[in-house]
A and B are shown apart, each in its own frame.
Chain A
Amino acid sequence: MKGGHGMHLKSVMAWNLVIWVAFAGQQALAQAPAASASAPVAPVAAASAAETTTPVAAQAAAASALVAAAAAPAAPASAPAPQSAPLTRPGLVGAETLSGADTAWMMTSTALVLFMTLPGIALFYGGMVRRKSVLNVMACVVAICAIVSLLWFAVGYSIAFTPGSGAWGHYLGGAERFWFTGLDYVKDAQKVAVSHVAPNIPESVYAMFQLTFAIITAALVVGSFVERMRFSAMLIFMSLWTVAVYAPIAHWVWEPNGWLARKGALDFAGGSVVHINAGIAGLVCAYALGPRRGYGREPFTPFNLGLTMAGAGMLWVGWFGFNAGSAVASDGRAGLAMAVTHIAAAAGALSWMAAEWAVRGRPSLLGLCSGLVAGLVAITPAAGFVSPRAALVFGVAAGLACYWGATGLKRLLDADDSLDVFGVHGVGGIVGSLLTGVFASKAISGVEGDVMTQAIGAGAVMLYSLFMTALALWVTSLLVNLRVGEAAESDGLDITQHAERLGT
């Protein structure tokens, strides 16, 4: 029976690969003339301009203005003036409207956020599992990076960051950017595609920046099912999850036509889209897979907390790209986002340390690392909206709340959320999202925060993530067993899933 399953899965995957390659080739051929000739450029731009007169586009323009005020500040004084009519969907603009400084910063931020996952998350998580499954965790992170990249290129970016059409557009983007169609740069005509969300940088850079967020969100979920999930099941599940859970939520919150963006829910860099989403998904995975063998009866000694510390350090550094990069500009707001990020991380580390010291009697390195991540998570939705003093509150509150989340709440929930994805990212994201409603300053961002709106945003993300993650796991379980066998788990996933072992 299992052999049949395996064969079936292999054939499905092989056919998928063939279809993908064929379709990608077709799209590449279709794009080639557009890239080589300047003539097709004009109609696209004209269509973009014409659509701004429709009611839907007018609504989107209003929302776009709101989000532009909230998330994408005005271009710096040195940048050329943008086109007169604001874009409501991705389109081609003159290359002279781009800002070189913003583009350079966004490319740097993209590299920083990717660095958070590879090797940041791989080391952070790899150090916390038992020796026999360290390589499996690292392999999961690398594989997720690869598979999410292709999915984002194929469908994810378009679903998340195009306005869609009609009422559906509030919940899901359109298909116009599938396979990165239209992310053109036409040298002769000096035209370049930009996103309406980030009109001062090339759309290719913006799509790559957002890709790194999709990667790290999926990689975060790994922490909940380590040491027991079958590698093939992980690949299928994370693929489904990225397309069906991450991309739609990113659309709701970050695309100006998304229903939470229109409602005024604030999420500067991903408190709900990334952290609450990953936290809830992790909790669902932990329940669905069940605890590791021996959980609660024997100690699961971490392989090397030195690796975890190195990973945490990379996360702290990379988070500057994550938060300050979400300003989509190299301006004063990005600088402020960087400052509040650092302050919250420091406060989070110290407050977790203090809580642990008080309760347990000793401050641990893992506690310090977890605390700094908690502070970073909490400030994420607020980074472009709050002052440095408020960041101190975010950090302290997150350190305490996440310590409870990873200890007391964990016992209450009674799930083997192995590396505390929900305890740190879920709880930290919720705390940060709600505090954003309290502390968002109109002087900094031009928008007012509202706790109730923030709660609705966080609640909606939690509910959707919960149901859709469960659905994705169920679909995955139809194709392949979610868990490895008892013997394989006992021997460790490094040898049983990858035929590899750590050296002595």
Chain B
Amino acid sequence: MPSNEKIAIAAHLHVLLRRKTGRVTDTEWMAGNLEYAAEVARFARERAAEDGHPDLAVWADRLEEIMAVPEPQPRVPLVQMVSDAVKERGAPVVAPPPQKDRQSARSIDTEEEVYPESGFIESTFGAIFGEEGNRERKLRDPNAPRYVKGLR
């Protein structure tokens, strides 16, 4: 989930764009997706130059600045921590979790990407019983966008 500050700036720009240009944007997506934010900023600057709305350019700059700030460290669920601790005890060498590609539009950390098969049992408890050898499990970012491919 994007920080409050990102959402606040995105929401401000959303309101300005709607009021001054009629363009409707997705605030939450803007605050969470770099590519979309960059495109909105480009559009805002373009309209600022063409229509004479300097405040649009100011807020576009602010959006780009805040989007450049890295995400805070994601929270690790309790069970994840326990399972990691058990894994560490069992196997001294643990592969680092894959890095998320925040620059790509496909960086949405969907449930399907995190748990590619059935999910619940093996994803939560499978690691404790030593099943991680066959199926490398990705860390899920609890701040990842919700409601992609499912509500729950």
Contact = CB atoms under 8 A, between A and B. Distances in A.
Contacts of B116: 411
Q: Which of B76, B78, B142, B146 has the most CB of A within 10 A?
A: B146
A358 B152 contact: no
Contact of A412 (B118, B124, B147, B152): B118
Given A360-B142, A361-B142, A302 B147 contact: yes
B150 A359 contact: no
A128 B120 contact: no
Secondary structure at the B interface, as helix, strand, loop or mixed, is loop
A411 B112 contact: yes
Contacts of A295: 149
Interface string A406-423: 111111100000111001
A357 B151 CA distance: 15
A299 B151 contact: no
A385 interface: no
Given A355-B120, A412-B117, A403 B146 contact: no
Most buried by A among B111, B148, B152: B152
Given A360-B77, A360-B140, A411-B112, A404 B121 contact: yes
Contacts, number: 94
A362 interface: yes
B77 A357 contact: yes
Nearest to A299: B147
A412 B117 CA distance: 6
Nearest to B116: A411
A300 interface: yes
Nearest to A296: B149
A495 interface: no
B152 A370 contact: yes
Given A296-B110, A360-B140, A361-B77, A408 B120 contact: yes
Contact of A407 (B29, B78, B119): B119
A200 B110 CA distance: 55
A296 B148 contact: yes
B25 interface: no
Contacts of B117: 408, 411-412
A124 to B, nearest CB: 12
A357 B145 contact: no
Interface of A: 128, 295-302, 355-362, 364, 366-367, 370, 403-404, 406-412, 418-420, 423
